[in-house]
Structures are given as structure tokens and as C-alpha cells.
Amino acid sequence: MRIIVINPNTSESMTDHLRRELASISGSGVELVCVNPDHGPVSIESAFDEALAIPPTLDLVRGAERDGFDAVVLACFSDPGLEAARELVSIPVVGIGESALHLAAQLGRRFTVLTTIPQRVPCMTEHIARRGLLNRLASVRPLEMSVLELDADSSRTKIRVLAEARAAASEDGADVIVLGCAGLTGSAAEVERELGMTVVDPSPVGVLTAETLVRLGLRHSKRGLYARPPAKLIK
């Protein structure tokens, strides 16, 4: 089985981070490849960034199917281009945000998503509403750190994650924490030990969801929502 993990931004450091942290996640016989586009935003922190990231990400998705990969994982919590990618190819495409949110709803009554900067809070709330999970949301809390800061400053990141997670539990009634950025990949176990509460790390969840779909022979329905786009001239 071959699974490709696409980091939709152009940060090689972030892709290396994902590659290191996900290396031991998959089962035997699974080849995991981590890549990123060679053009687009260096991080995704706005709707504008998402729009810029989608076309090169879709090129990688199309190439993944052509190159014989069995599934695609989009490693950004905003899942940029997820619906379009599912229209484009026949292999499973998993968004780490969507898969982590649905898993979190199975693990507790209410969850809190930790995001990057305050401007992302409304976007994350809308993202959760589109997944039909707003009634399970305790809060969205910003860490007041950019994506690249999360990737570069692990000590400060840990301090901010622990502080906001504790506040989510005591003030918002959260019993599950979702790490709402791929830059936080690999930190769930340590945070969970210190907090004594369930912490969901979306990138491993996305990879194992993709692996499960392949093993079960399941893929996205091509009727309705994910039907292939009509053939047409695009200038």
C-alpha cells in the first residue's frame, strides 16, 4: 500500500517534521511519502492562503493517482481543496481536519480545537459547522503563534498548548483537545500525559484513516457530492 501525505504549504521544514513524526505510524507493508508543492504560500493562515494553495495541491493529488498511490492525505487542518480533490480522483482523499473532528466527537462529549492565531477562530468554527459538529464544540482557542512559529519553537509551543488546553477544560467544559494545526504533529502524547485528558493529533489520524479505507476497499462515492467535474476547456 502506498499513501502520499501532502503538506499544502511550501514549507520544507514542515514537510520534514511530518515525515519524521509519521514514520512509525503506518502498519507493515505501507509506504508513506510526504511532499509539498513547490509554489504557493509558505504557511496557511487565511482564506486567501487556502485559495493560493489549492491549485498546486490539486496538481499533486492528480499526480498521486497517476503514480499509483492508493490514497492521499491532505496535511492541513483546514483541509484546503478537499472536496475538489475528491472530485478529481478515484482513490481516497482524507483531510486531517475532517477525520480528526469526527474522531474527537466519538471520544468525548465536547471538544476544543487549538488553532494558531486569533484570526483563525471564526474560520475554524465555520469549518466545524460544515462538518455538522458545532453542537459538540466546546471552544476554539488560539495559541497566538503562527504556523511557522509552532514548527520552529517547540518549548514555547508546549507552554501555550498546555495553558490553552487547561483553560478549555476548566472554563469551556472540554473533555477532548484537538491539535488544530499540522505543525503540532507529534506532541499529543506528551500533552495528554501532563493533562490527563484525551488529545487528538490530526495527522496520524488522517494517515490511519486513509490506510483503513484502502484496507477495506472503500472510496468516496462518485454519485452526487464527489462526482467527477464535467469535462470542459479551461483557459
pLDDT means per 10 residues in the chain (235 residues)?
A: 98 95 88 97 95 98 98 97 97 98 98 96 95 97 92 87 96 97 91 93 97 96 92 81
The four Cα atoms 139, 178, 33, 215 give a dihedral, to 10 degrees, of: -110
Please give the sequence-ordered ranges of beta strands (E in DSSP) within the chain, or none if there are none: 2-6, 31-35, 71-74, 93-95, 111-115, 137-142, 176-179, 198-200
What's the pLDDT at 218? 97
Kindly report the pTM of this predicted structure.
0.95
What's the pLDDT at 152? 80
Helix axes 202-216, 12-22, angle to 10 degrees: 60
User: Do 179 and 214 fall into the same domain?
Assistant: no
What's the pLDDT at 150? 87
CATH value at residue 177: 3.40.50.12500
User: Do 194 and 210 fall into the same domain?
Assistant: no
For residue 231, what is its C-alpha cell? Answer: 469535462
- The distance of Cα 199 from the centroid of its chain, to the nearest Å, equals 14
Contacts of 38 (CB under 8 A, 6+ apart): 10, 56
User: Do 21 and 108 fall into the same domain?
Assistant: no
Contact between 195 and 169 under an 8 Å Cβ cutoff? The reply is yes
Task: Kindly state whether residue 231 falls inside one of the protein's structural domains.
Answer: no
Contact between 201 and 16 under an 8 Å Cβ cutoff? The reply is no
What's the pLDDT at 154? 84
For residue 167, what is its C-alpha cell? Answer: 483553560
What's the pLDDT at 232? 84
Task: Kindly state whether residue 82 falls inside one of the protein's structural domains.
Answer: yes
Q: Domain range for residue 119?
A: 97-202
User: Beta 71-74 vs 93-95: how paired, if at all?
Assistant: parallel
| Cα 203 from Cα 195, distance rounded (Å) | 20
